[in-house]
Structure 1
Amino acid sequence: MIYFDNSATTQPDPEVLRTFTAASQAFFANPSSLHGLGIEADRLLGRAAQQVAELAGMPDGTVVFTSGGTEANNQALFGFARANAGHGRRILISSVEHPSVLNTAEQLEAEGFEVLTVGTDGNGRLDLSDLERKLSQKTIVVSIMHVNNETGAIQPLEEAGRLIRRKAPRAVFHSDTVQSYGKLAIPGGPDGPDAISVSAHKFHGLKGSGALILKRNAQIRPYLFGGGQQGGLRSGTVPVAHAAALAKAMRLAEEARGELQFGEWRDELIRFFGGWDKVRVLGGPESAPHILSVAIRGIRGEVAVNALQEKEIYVSTSSACSSRSRSESHVLRAMRIDEDFRHGVIRLSFGRQNSREEILRFKEVFAEFMDTIERV
């Protein structure tokens, strides 16, 4: 079995599972309880939060543990918009954001906020001139993902950050780094994002575990209300074992990042796909090393997915969030992909368990598939 759908979810690392199990057994108490067991659990939670902040490059920042990337993105947009509404009501997002950002922005628009979408070029990269035109003193939130989940396009966060600091100094700069954490360095410093979202199951951690990580001066309002846990920013009993496992997964991802061969595999496959006129690579060598999407003219992506699955090779059509939907990808629309190619997209995404031998096997099977459809 060859699994090339790691951008949908990854296989949990055994070390992460051991951390989760050990913490669940030894630190099962509610971290809000005043007795000794609760205090011990709270200490572990604090250590996990500090590790997560340091690994994210924000050692003095605040960590809000969430149920994953979708909640973290919701927390960011709702929380930053409502906290800063006194300075303006303009929100900017890119046209290729994940639905958890797009749909949250729609809700904020219904609340009376002004939402503007920043365009991209044909490779799915942010149009910086369009961003500059739409930034103003009224802008309070800008959300730009780091790596696109469908195509792997890397967004120029530092260049965007410089424009935001100059033209909208009050704006909070958020980035969905769900697809980039553990594979690419996330820009820090004065031009880097004020807050990032991460999701553990994208880097061999556990589903249902993520975080919104904020720089120290980022002002945000709570999104969930109740007992006032996590400094009042996210109410609800904090799952200590999930927090510890998230910190473990982040550390393992950072330690392995320099040893990954994803870029070599991606470049090899780009050359391979160039052998067919019917196949178009979306993105290219400048995209993220672990995601490669290709469009096959004249077929639906599901045909290729099913054919590969028969040979025990697992890929997806686009993103897992939309692969079961018949609706057209908003990312491909934004990139202005030709109609003949738009419905035949498949995405390969690599994880730490993959090997070059699997790349060679994929090439063999894909070539057989292309021979079959070209004879039809």
Structure 2
Amino acid sequence: MKRLIVDGVKVQTCVTSPPYWGLRDYGNNPTVWGGDTECDHEWGPQETGFKNSTKGNAGSTTASDPNHTLGSRFDSSHTWCQKCGAWLGCFGLEPTPQLYVEHSVEIFRFVRDLLADDGTLWLNLGDTYAAARSYQVPDNKYKDVGNTLGHTVPPGLKQKDLVGIPWMVAFALRADGWYLRCDIVWEKAQCMPESVKDRPTKSHEYIFLLSKTERYYYDAAAIMEPASLDTHARYARGRSDSHKYADGGPGGQTIARSLDHMVKAGVNPKAAMNAKGSKQNASFSNAVRDVVEMRNKRSVWKVATQPYSGSHFATFPEKLIEPCILAGSRAGDIVLDPFFGSGTAGQVAEQLGRQWIGCEIQRAYEPLQKERTAQVGLLL
């Protein structure tokens, strides 16, 4: 992403789902976060007196460690630089949620630099439960391949606590200058069963809509949804003759009231006709005559999880991100996914007439991306 920023590239929207905190090791080489970029690092256990900070240095160095022994949460003896306090590890495998949040903020600063001034970020995150044996993410978007990570419960949390990672990240991004505009609940039409007896089964995740500036591009009409059958126009407060939706009003935006239009929408025309001697007043008549077929999209999205046969365990359901791309961009705009994975965001962007840029550290996913997309992508 740094190279794209230097080259002056701008994207209209970012739709992404980063690795969830504490879920599993995806086999990536550990990266140096924070500390001094000029330091000749000496790795060992964290020492008191160091306060790790990633400001300006996230992802600055990738360690050569084919066996992934450094920075592993199974081996805490090779995690911190004894000289400058840098942390060596993979994003998502931080020892504390606070460090994961700090790294998330740093990553999305690069995203913000890439966004157009009226651009948006759609961020999907799942939550985590603290447990002494492992961090458990009840989520069948990530298929369990038997490598969840064991660890002790971090300071400040109790065993069985819901960590609240999505909101921790969202509030941190807001504090860093993002506009936090909406929390969207992804209700999974089917979810992974859980063997729990003392709480409901977790069946949702979050998508946060954030913007770079106060005024941003958002096409509400592109993602409108069918109105319920009992929806009527809200005109009980009355409507003046000069209102844009009044018959013959300015702008020509009169709501159609023909018999055919009412029948098509499932409204009995007799219910909207003033009979002789009718006691209907004008406001009531308007409310039953104006046909409302579509409404603004709600903030709970019921989308089934989608199986994927490729060797990737973090695939978006295509239907989940379609509204994000439609509302956040125009045809021909560029969609960014900095955690590209198998390339679902690129595939959906192409289907909707958009261009895309995908960034993925794991080159093993490149064949999956090529299989799913036709555009020549940029792999960083």
TM-score, normalised by the number of residues in structure 1: 0.23
Q: Higher RCO, 1 or 2 (CA under 8 Å, sep at least 6)?
A: 1
Q: Which protein has the bigger helix share?
A: 1
Q: Computing the radius of gyration over CA atoms, which structure comes out larger, 1 or 2?
A: 2
